[in-house]
Amino acid sequence: MIEWSGLHSALDPFGPQAARVHGLWRFLWIVSLAVYVLVIAALAWAALRRRTPAEADPTPRPAAEVAGPALRTTIVGATVATVLILFVFLVVDLATGRPLTAAPRGGRGALEIEVTGHQWWWQVEYPSSRPDLRVVTANEIHVPTGRPVVVTLTSTDVIHSFWPPSLVGKRDMIPGEKTSVWFQADTPGVYRGQCAEFCGYQHAKMAFQIVAEPAEQFERWMARQRDSARTPADSLALRGQEVFLATSCVMCHTVRGTPAGSRIGPDLTHLASRRTIAAGSLPNTRGALAGWIVDPQSIKPGTRMPSNQIEPDDLQALLAYLESLK
């Protein structure tokens, strides 16, 4: 079971952006319900009411001839009401939208993240002018609570869309362009997001998690993420590192601190620190990881990661090594 505490529902907001939209939603559905009830009531009344002799006359006639001035006035009134309601809607919409798109207050204090979409995983980078302060990870984004986060988005292949509904509405990730969105998580928790633009076979299983934590916890996480992987002390894990470097893993994955430096697939330097694997499809447990390594195609058919034939002993060693990548 994958656990997440703050769901992935637009109706369960955990940040100011999503909360505003939630408020807008309430307004929208209440007004819509009222309009709906009124129109249906009018329809039902029109259908079922008792007719005057003129109205009950089966001789075909223009409705305009039978209708009195009251009916005409009602239609004009209904039209005016429609225009007014739509106008109010536009005003409320504008009032909601302005603060949502405006750059977050205290811009200097905003955390900047870059997320790049791939088929079917998320590349997450915390940029810095100092190379040793940069963080590269995948599928799991950590943010400090109570601080605005600006996410710059793009894609290396097809169009994806970044969407954590509990926190903020979606923004598309378009190859060749940069888009951006900002959000803020006020409550610590794990918030799920999912790709929201059809991107091929495994669009359905391209999820990510935003882990919101208090500032010191976040800084500790950042510090750990900056470290390269240490050579394992355990002999099994050391053997696992040899297996890793000798098989096709190195064709696609980076583990900083080893010669493996390919950026085709997710960065695995701190794989063991993540809650899920395979872009939120599986919990990060030994069993799930084993299944994923050996036969990813049966879990996410069409995924870019090929199935791997590994001897059972080697697999155990590899798993031990990967579990050491905290």
Partner 1 sequence: MTTQAVRPGSTATAPDEAEVRAALDASWGRPVGLLGWISTVDHKDVARRYLVTAFVFFILGGLDAALMRIQLARPENRFLTPDQYNQLFTVHGTTMMFLFAVPVMTAMGLYFVPLMIGARNVSFPRLNNYGYWVYLIGGVLLYVSLFVNSAPDTGWFSYVPLAGPGYTPGKRADIYAQTVTFTEISALITAVEIIVTVFKHRAPGMTLNRIPLFVWAMLVTSFMILFAMPWVATASLFLAADRLIATHFFNPAEGGDPMLWQHLFWFFGHPEVYIIFIPALGMISSILATFTRREVFGYPVMVLSLVATGFLGFGLWVHHMFATGIPQLGQSYFTAASAMIAIPSGVQIFCWIATLWVGRPRWTVPMLYATAFVVLFLIGGLSGVMVASVPFDLQVHDTYFVVAHLHYVLLGGAVFPLFGAFYYWFPKITGRMLDERLGRWQFGLFFAGVNLTFFPMHYLGLHGMPRRVYTYLLESGWGDLNLLATAGAVTIAASVLLFILNVVRALRAGPLAGNDPWGGETLEWLAESPPRPYNFAFQPVVQGRAALWSRTPDAPVVVGLRTDMREVLVTTVMDAAPDNRHRHPDPDRMPFVAALATGVLFISLVFTPWGLPVGALLLAVPMILWGWPNEEDNEKQRRQERETVT
Q: Which of residues 91-120 bind partner 1 (CB under 8 A)?
A: 93-94, 96-97, 100-101, 119
What is d(CA 157, CA 168) in angstroms, rounded to the nearest whole number?
24
Rg (CA), the chain: 28
By CB under 8 A, is residue 313 in contact with partner 1? Answer: no
- Cβ-based burial of 122 (10 A; exposed 0-12, middle 13-18, buried ≥19): buried
Q: Decide whether 22 or 256 has the Cβ nearer to partner 1.
A: 22
Q: Decide whether 78 or 133 has the Cβ nearer to partner 1.
A: 78
* Strand, coil or helix: 166: coil
At 147, give phi and psi (nearest 5°). Answer: -130, 135
Touching partner 1, residues 207-246 (CB under 8 A): none
Q: Decide whether 177 or 242 has the Cβ nearer to partner 1.
A: 177
* Number of amino acids touching partner 1 (CB under 8 A): 90
By CB under 8 A, is residue 8 in contact with partner 1? Answer: yes
At 228, give phi and psi (nearest 5°). Answer: -80, 165
Choice from 30, 78, 246, 264 touching partner 1 (CB under 8 A): 78
By CB under 8 A, is residue 19 in contact with partner 1? Answer: no
Q: Within 13 A of 32's CA, how many CA atoms are on the CB side?
A: 6
For tokens 């002999």, name the residue: 235
Touching partner 1, residues 113-152 (CB under 8 A): 119
Touching partner 1, residues 263-292 (CB under 8 A): 281
Tokens standing for residue 100: 């949502």
At 272, give phi and psi (nearest 5°). Answer: -70, -15
Q: Decide whether 208 or 218 has the Cβ nearer to partner 1.
A: 208
By CB under 8 A, is residue 203 in contact with partner 1? Answer: yes
By CB under 8 A, is residue 197 in contact with partner 1? Answer: yes
In whole angstroms, how close is the CB of 296 to partner 1 at the nearest point? 13
Q: Decide whether 89 or 258 has the Cβ nearer to partner 1.
A: 89
Choice from 50, 59, 109, 130 touching partner 1 (CB under 8 A): 59
Name the segment binding partner 1 (CB under 8 A); options: 84-92, 210-218, 249-257, 263-271: 84-92
- Whether residue 145 contacts residue 137, with contact meaning beta carbons closer than 8 Å, is answered with no
Q: Decide whether 28 or 238 has the Cβ nearer to partner 1.
A: 28
> DSSP labels for 120-144?
TEEEEEE--SSGGG-EEEESEEEEE
What is d(CA 9, CA 21) in angstroms, rounded to the nearest whole number?
12
For tokens 């988005």, name the residue: 153
By CB under 8 A, is residue 73 in contact with partner 1? Answer: no
Choice from 5, 30, 40, 133 touching partner 1 (CB under 8 A): 40
